[in-house]
Amino acid sequence: MNADDLKAFETVVRFGVVDGAAAALKISPSDVNARLLKLEKEVGVPLFKGDTQDIYLTAAGERFLPFALKNAWLLDEAKACCSRK
């Protein structure tokens, strides 16, 4: 699991569709799907249900979401701290 995988997860949640997340991330929908599958394999449970046009979080995905959001916040803070004078 890496920051890009977590960003893909968070973006799919925000947009509700893989295609919208892919456009926002400027990667292909198949790359988004690959990241999600990798993430699900690493955590050991499905995080989404449905298909690429109608995707929803599972109960495990709901529990995982705050950690993905916290990671995104921490990465933004880490980048910001280095640019502060």
pTM for this predicted structure: 0.84
In this structure, what token pair is assigned to residue 4?
């890009």
Look up the domain containing 9 and give its range.
Answer: 3-83
- For the chain, give the mean pLDDT: 90
CA atoms within 13 A on the CB side of 85: 0
CATH at 76: 1.10.10.10
Total domains in the chain come to 1
Q: pLDDT tens, 15-59? A: 999 999 999 999 999 999 999 999 999 999 999 998 767 889 999
